[in-house]
Amino acid sequence: MTHSKYSALELTSLLLICRLARFFCCDTPYSAAFARGIFVTGILQAALLLPIFLRKQPWVTPRITRWLVRGFALLLGAEAAADIYRFLCDADAPHPALTLMLLLLTVLYVVSLPRPAIYHAAVFILVAAAIAFLLLPLGGLSSARLVSLWTQSTETHGFLQEWALSAELALIPMLCEAQPQAGKRAAVAWIAVRSILLPLVVLFGTMQCGRLQAWRNNPFLLLLARVPFSDALRTDGLWLMLAIACGLLAVAFLMGCFCGGDLRTAPHMRFAGFLPLIALTILFIMRNCNEILLGSMSLGLTLLQWVCPRSIPPRKEQQ
């Protein structure tokens, strides 16, 4: 993977968009326990990445691990596609399956574009999401109830969910290998934003949602319905577009990771046409996949990359 042209902001945007896409589509009810789970997971993941941050020599991932991580990126892409499908169904969108297939074809087109396009789009979408998240509490502060934070829920479930939803953790060592400085900064920003801002949004959602913690299986749609604000910021407006755009970019980025960086020059280009089909096939397999499997896979792969480099000498081109 060669990422030398891209800044830390662009890499951060893509990593955050992967997390945001899954945040919009996740079906875990908002609760204080879930917010705590996100925070604790962020701390643990930061500790896990500490060896990479502190290492001064170039980070080298063995070939077999790299292939495993690429395969995992494909799985994550399929899971993100499944999430978009579920989100479309939850939002009562017409023809969700056909729309998803067309969106996946669009992903293929996006992946085949010059790489800066994806990175620039990611920054743009992230800025739009940041503005939308800033506007969200403005309309709902008066209707938020602090006492809702004590609504009963289990912490373990939120913790495990967060491991699964932030599975792009496994890609960070590879990003740090390709682009050490920008990769490290992006990883730090990814952890900081996730561990601080997402729990705040979840807490705000909890205060809005009261005892009914999810609706149509999606707590974010419930939060949007509860916030008294203009229709433009409701499900049929900006948020729906934003969620789908985040999902598309996340799938495109993860597919790009699977193809080893640049799809146009990758030796696996001949597979490109089948990517949406592969994704769709895996999508249906993944529907039965629970958070423990995804969470443990991301943890395992990160640990594998953490352990392996010490026994393998750095490659010539990186010395």
Partner 1 sequence: MKRLFAILCGCSTILLTGCTDIRSRRYADILAVTSGKEYSASLRCDGEETWYTAAAAAPKLLPTALENELGAQLSMGHLGLLMLQGDTLEPLTALLDDGQLVPTCPVLLCPKTSQVERFVDSNLAAQLQRSMETGLLPRRTVGDVYGDLRSAARITLLPCLVEDALTLAVSDGAQTLAILSEDACRGAALLCGRWDHFAFVEMRGASPETIRLKSCKCKLHMEQKGERLVLSVELSPEVESGDAELARTAVCRMLRAYFQEAVTDCAADACFLEETALRCGISIPDTAAWRALLRDAEIQVTAH
When binding is defined by CB under 8 A, the residue of 10, 79, 90, 168 that contacts partner 1 is 90
> What amino acid is encoded at 270 in this protein?
R
When binding is defined by CB under 8 A, the residue of 13, 45, 148, 305 that contacts partner 1 is 148
Question: Which of residues 156 and 319 has its CB atom nearest to partner 1 in the complex?
Answer: 156
157 touching partner 1, by CB under 8 A: no
Contacts of residue 295, Cβ cutoff 8 Å, sequence gap at least 6: 160, 163, 164, 167
C-alpha to C-alpha distance for 284 and 152, rounded to whole angstroms: 32
C-alpha to C-alpha distance for 42 and 163, rounded to whole angstroms: 9
When binding is defined by CB under 8 A, the residue of 43, 50, 102, 312 that contacts partner 1 is 102
Span interacting with partner 1, options 11-19, 193-201, 222-230, 281-289, rule CB under 8 A: 222-230
Span interacting with partner 1, options 148-156, 255-263, 286-294, 306-314, rule CB under 8 A: 148-156
Whether residue 21 contacts residue 167, with contact meaning beta carbons closer than 8 Å, is answered with no
106 touching partner 1, by CB under 8 A: yes
Span interacting with partner 1, options 16-24, 52-60, 95-103, 171-179, rule CB under 8 A: 95-103
What one-character DSSP code corresponds to residue 179?
Answer: S
Question: Which of residues 175 and 202 has its CB atom nearest to partner 1 in the complex?
Answer: 202
Whether residue 314 contacts residue 55, with contact meaning beta carbons closer than 8 Å, is answered with no
| Region 225-254 residues binding partner 1, contact defined as CB under 8 A | 225-226
152 touching partner 1, by CB under 8 A: yes
> What amino acid is encoded at 209 in this protein?
C
92 touching partner 1, by CB under 8 A: yes
C-alpha to C-alpha distance for 199 and 146, rounded to whole angstroms: 15
Question: Which of residues 151 and 179 has its CB atom nearest to partner 1 in the complex?
Answer: 151
> Roughly what angle, to the nearest 10 degrees, separates helices 8-25 and 238-258?
120
C-alpha to C-alpha distance for 23 and 250, rounded to whole angstroms: 12
Q: Show the site string, 1-40: x = touches partner 1 by CB under 8 A, - = not.
A: ----------------------------------------
216 touching partner 1, by CB under 8 A: yes
> CA–CA distance from 87 to each of 27, 97, 130, 138, 295 (Å)?
9, 11, 20, 25, 21
Question: Which of residues 236 and 318 has its CB atom nearest to partner 1 in the complex?
Answer: 236
Instruction: Read off the tokens for 157.
Output: 């479930």
When binding is defined by CB under 8 A, the residue of 222, 242, 255, 279 that contacts partner 1 is 222
Shortest CB 121 distance to partner 1, Å: 14
DSSP H helix total and E strand total for the chain: 12, 0
C-alpha to C-alpha distance for 204 and 207, rounded to whole angstroms: 5
Q: Which residues bind partner 1 (CB under 8 A)?
A: 90, 92-95, 98-99, 102-103, 105-106, 109, 112, 143, 145, 147-152, 209-212, 215-216, 222, 225-226
